[in-house]
Amino acid sequence: MRLLLAALFLAVLTPALARADCTDPVRPEGSILYNADFKTVQFCDGSAWWSMKGIQEILPSCAAGDGIVMSSAGSWACAPGEPP
């Protein structure tokens, strides 16, 4: 009986583990879903939904047969001879 009372006492005093969830819709942190209304994939960070839609950039117009690469500066450039 004492063991049961001790366990109950500890259960009441021990705080529950914090768990963050997103709302609308309710999902746990790390959840990923497709939002058809906004046509984007979203992920839950534990408190809010975030879009995974990237920034849309205008790509350069390259000659036929040339590829497009990202430079070390982070901009797009034509790459002659690289496959598209």
pLDDT higher than 70, residue 26: yes
Query: Are 23 and 45 in contact, with CB atoms under 8 Å apart?
Result: no
Is this structure's pTM higher than 0.95? no
- How is the chain split into domains, by residue range? 20-53, 58-84
What's the Cα-to-Cα distance from 69 to each of 10, 39, 52, 60, 78, rounded to whole Å?
Answer: 60, 27, 22, 10, 6
Q: pLDDT digits over 48-60, tens only?
A: 999 988 766 777 8
Phi, psi of 20 (to 5 degrees): -95, 135
